[in-house]
Each structure stands twice: as structure tokens, then as C-alpha cells.
């Protein structure tokens, strides 16, 4: 399967098992960022273009845009944030919100072909978000949870993935345009959480073949040396079938390019070498 996203000028991000891994930058998100959350509540968006440029320079080829802090009017602020990102960089946008009205407001201003983050197996979400994806010709992330919550077993998550793809097609969204997120839970709360995610990822890759994403940094919340854990987990996710991880490119891009290289998806190691040189340049600046 191949999912194609486009920027404002038509620059493509091609997500496919046969292409280098697609890095979706996670930094434009107030979760765990107290200063950024406070700025958003004040209507201060000055950090957004800085984060956008830094992530693209570090190797992100798609940028997730989320302004969902407490007390923020997402319907008003999310489209402004999307426009600011599009003015700062020329990469496809991933619109990230749980608010359908904010989602549509952002879809109205996004240029190119975006990714929607996200739908899940809940009936209300399926019936609202999938029509939006079809109407605006957007690809969509499908989270492996439903009205009963997040299954604790891999097979339950696979069943939800199958349901989401089936319903997406019924609404006019191609199966290729549904990225599945097997969901990453915190390993500090359940030491077997990562094993369930990896098993679900492998099964989805084998049975459905859809492209996949995951919020890799979710696993390490509350643990020391998070970046080391995130890098190791990313390698496991990629090996299992995730090919468009949502992560921090300032910390993880070189590790992802290393996996690309070792799995034969980086001819002559040029992507790895370029990313390494960019990191060296930033360190010496």
C-alpha cells in the first residue's frame, strides 16, 4: 500500500513499506510542554514556526500540528497554527485534534493533501471523521481503540483496525489512505505494554498491509533516560511494521535513518550521512 501526502507546493511524502521511513514531527503539541501550553492560552504562537523549521531541518517530512491545551479555543487557533506552519516550511501537515469542528476549520485552510490525526473505532468518531476525510481528500490515522476502550490483547486491536479500514472504504476513503496506529501505552504502568503493541503491529502488517504510525514517545513517560528508551522502541516498532512514526526528529531522526540503512532502504547510506551531518552542524552552531 502507498499513502501520498502533499505540501502546499506539491512536495510529496510517500509512505510505503518500500520507501524510507516517514518521520512525522511531534513537537508542535502542548502535551508535556508547560511553557508552550501557557503560550497557547495567551494566544502566543511565536514558538510554532521555530519548532516547524527545527523539525524539518532535523529530518521530519510531515509535521503534526496540535494546539489542544486546556483553555484553548481550538476551532479558532488550530487553523491559524496550520497556516503558520505552512508559511514556515514546505512539508505536508498532519492535523491533530479530537475536536471535529477544529478539524474541519483546519482542513479548510490546509493546502496540499494532509493527514488527519485521528479516527478510532468508536461509532461517533467513525461517523464524523471519516466523512471529513472523504470530503477533503485527506488520509487518516486509525487508532486501535473503540467504545470499549483499548484492548489489552493484540488480536482485539487488529479487529478494530479491520473495522476502521472497512468503514473508511464505505465512506469513500481508500484503504491505502488509512494509517493504522496500534497504540502505545506507558511501560511504567504495564511492563508488557510494549510487547502487546509490537505484536499488534506485526499482525496488522501481515493481515491488512496498511501503512502504520505510532506515538513512540508515549511508552517512556515517567521513566529515566526517555530518549534512550524511545530510540530502542522505535527500532522495534519499525522492524514490526511501523513506517511513519510520530516522534521527535531532534532526538530520533538519526536512529531512524540508521534503521533505514540497516534494512536496505538507504542506497549508499546517503540519508544517514546527510542526517548525521545536519546534526553535527546544529551541534556546532
Give the number of other CB atoms < 10 A from CB of residue 38: 13
* CATH code: domain of residue 129: 3.20.20.20
**Does 65 have pLDDT greater than 70?**
yes
In the DSSP assignment, the letter for residue 116 is: E
**What are 107-154's pLDDT values in tens digits?**
999 999 999 999 999 999 999 999 999 999 999 999 999 999 999 999
Measured in residues, the chain has a length of 285
Number of structural domains in the chain: 1
Amino acid 83: pLDDT: 98
Angle, to 10 degrees, between the axis of helix 226-240 and the axis of helix 249-262? 40
Across 63-89, average pLDDT: 97
Amino acid 271: pLDDT: 87
**What are 214-223's pLDDT values in tens digits?**
988 888 888 8
Helix residue spans in 5-148 (DSSP H):
34-41, 47-57, 74-88, 100-109, 123-135
Across 187-212, average pLDDT: 94
Q: Which residue has the cell 491545551?
A: 69
Residue 108, all three cell numbers: 479548510
The residue range of the domain holding 184 is 3-284
* pLDDT-above-70 percentage for the chain: 100
**Does 263 have pLDDT greater than 90?**
no
39 class by beta-carbon count within 10 Å (0-12 exposed, 13-18 middle, 19+ buried): middle
Contacts of 222 (CB under 8 A, 6+ apart): 186, 188, 189
Amino acid 76: pLDDT: 97
Distance CA 65, CA 202 (A): 28
Amino acid 285: pLDDT: 66
Q: Which SS3 state, helix, strand or coil, does residue 215 take?
A: strand
Amino acid at each position: 500500500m502507498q499513502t501520498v501526502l502533499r505540501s502546499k507546493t506539491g512536495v510529496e511524502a510517500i509512505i510505503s513499506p518500500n520507501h524510507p521511513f516517514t518521520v512525522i514531527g511531534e513537537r508542535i503539541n502542548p502535551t508535556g510542554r508547560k511553557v508552550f501550553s501557557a503560550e497557547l492560552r495567551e494566544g502566543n504562537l511565536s514558538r510554532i514556526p521555530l519548532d516547524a523549521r527545527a523539525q524539518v531541518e532535523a529530518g521530519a517530512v510531515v509535521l503534526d500540528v496540535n494546539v489542544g491545551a486546556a483553555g484553548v479555543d481550538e476551532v479558532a487557533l488550530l487553523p491559524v497554527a496550520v497556516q503558520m506552519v505552512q508559511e514556515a516550511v514546505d512539508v505536508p501537515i498532519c492535523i491533530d485534534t479530537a475536536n471535529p469542528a477544529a478539524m474541519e476549520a483546519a482542513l479548510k485552510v490546509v493546502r496540499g493533501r494532509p493527514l488527519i490525526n485521528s479516527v478510532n473505532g468508536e461509532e461517533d468518531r467513525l461517523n464524523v471523521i471519516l466523512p471529513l476525510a472523504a470530503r477533503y481528500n485527506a488520509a487518516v490515522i486509525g487508532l486501535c481503540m473503540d467504545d470499549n476502550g483499548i484492548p489489552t490483547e493484540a488480536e482485539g486491536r487488529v479487529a478494530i483496525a479491520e473495522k476502521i479500514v472497512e468503514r473508511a472504504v464505505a465512506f469513500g476513503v481508500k484503504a491505502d489512505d488509512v494509517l493504522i496506529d496500534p497504540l502505545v501505552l506507558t511501560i511504567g504502568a504495564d511492563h508488557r505494554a510494549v510487547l502487546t503493541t509490537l505484536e499488534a503491529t506485526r499482525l496488522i502488517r501481515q493481515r491488512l498491509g496498511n501503512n502504520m504510525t505510532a506515538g513512540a514517545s508515549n511508552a517512556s513517560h515517567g521513566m529515566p533516560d526517555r530518549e534512550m528508551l524511545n530510540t530502542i522502541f522505535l527500532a522495534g516498532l519499525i522492524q514490526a511494521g511501523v513506517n511513519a512514526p510520530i516522534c521527535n526528529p531532534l532526538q530520533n531522526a538519526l536512529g531512524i535513518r540508521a534503521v533505514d540503512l540497516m534494512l536496505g532502504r538507504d542506497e549508499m547510506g546517503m540519508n544517514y550521512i546527510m542526517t548525521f551531518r545536519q546534526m553535527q552542524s546544529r551541534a556546532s552552531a
